[in-house]
A = this chain, B = another copy of it.
Amino acid sequence: MTDEADRPAADDDTDPDAGGPSITVAVVDAETPGNIGTIARSMKNFGLSDLLLVDPPELDPEGEAYGFAGQAREDVLPNAREVSFDYLVENFHTVGSTAVTNEDERSHTRYPFKTPAELADSLRGVETDTCVVFGRERVGLTNDELARLDEVCSIPAAADYPVLNLGQAATIVLYELRELTVAETQHPDERHQRAEERAVEGLDDQFGDFLEAIDHPEEKRPKARRLWRRLVGRAHPTGREATTLRGIFRRAAQAVERRDEE
């Protein structure tokens, strides 16, 4: 961790959206090094690299921060910079995260606010150096701190216990910002390769032949075929599923026919 921020903000912008926001994360007055490690790891999971720390605890390379950071122990965490709260206010479009909001427009400290999903939507296409600011574990960001930040973001949670752990809250906000920060995910382009319609119809016909071969009562076959069509229609079979099942029904029909011949 370098001691004071003398580099300009976001000079190593790796944002995939040319012209979109560059996003930095700041943690104010964290008590637990482990939470900083957790946040560093989530940052790396969601394509972020710039971590700023205001009044951080000691981050021992043998301690919890590094223990929780996963592969972020190699880059995000050692490159984290200690800065002042003023530095955040002066250099970034700042978004303060809080579980506790005001109820209406009578106070502007924590109102209006956006959900993390709304925040992501509102930043899309806006060229800005944005810093999402998270507060200390037990009391979060103070009113005085939030009053100095530009926007407020709050995660919708259960009314009777809306206060997430610091690391969990940061993870959710970064997850929601992922479309602005992750150039390429680990997922294949298609999460679900559906069979061609011809293959699904072929499976349907094969099921009909199968019903006939096993001598399913003729008057019940249309209903059974409809039921099958509904089930398969909802499941969107892959080509492999359609082909394999078609083969199984064909083999079953043949087995019955062979037995009848014997």
Copies of this chain, count: 2
Residue of B106, B165, B238 touching A112 (CB-CB under 8 A):
B238
Cα distance A106–B190 in the bound complex, in angstroms: 13
Cross-chain contact A70 with B157 (CB below 8 angstroms): no
Per-residue CB contact flags for chain A residues 169-212 toward chain B (1 = under 8 Å, else 0) read 00110010010001111111011110000000000000000000
Contacts of A103 in B (CB 8 A): 188
Cross-chain contact A161 with B71 (CB below 8 angstroms): yes
Closest to A172 in B: B175
Known pairs A157-B178, A172-B171; A193 contacts B108 (CB<8 A): no
- Is A262 close to B, CB under 8 A? no
Cα distance A71–B101 in the bound complex, in angstroms: 20
Cross-chain contact B185 with A158 (CB below 8 angstroms): yes
- Is A164 close to B, CB under 8 A? yes
- Is A163 close to B, CB under 8 A? yes
Contacts of A157 in B (CB 8 A): 45-46, 178, 182, 185-186
- Is A114 close to B, CB under 8 A? yes
- Is A240 close to B, CB under 8 A? yes
Cα distance A98–B161 in the bound complex, in angstroms: 28
| A interface: dominant SS | loop
- Is A33 close to B, CB under 8 A? no
Residue of B105, B172, B182 touching A239 (CB-CB under 8 A):
B105
- Is A156 close to B, CB under 8 A? yes
Contacting residues of chain A (66-113) with chain B, CB-CB under 8 angstroms: 68, 70-72, 99-101, 103-106, 108, 111-113
- Is A41 close to B, CB under 8 A? yes
Contacts of A68 in B (CB 8 A): 165
Counting from the closest, the 6 A-B pairs by CB-CB distance are: A162-B186, A112-B192, A105-B238, A156-B185, A105-B240, A159-B184
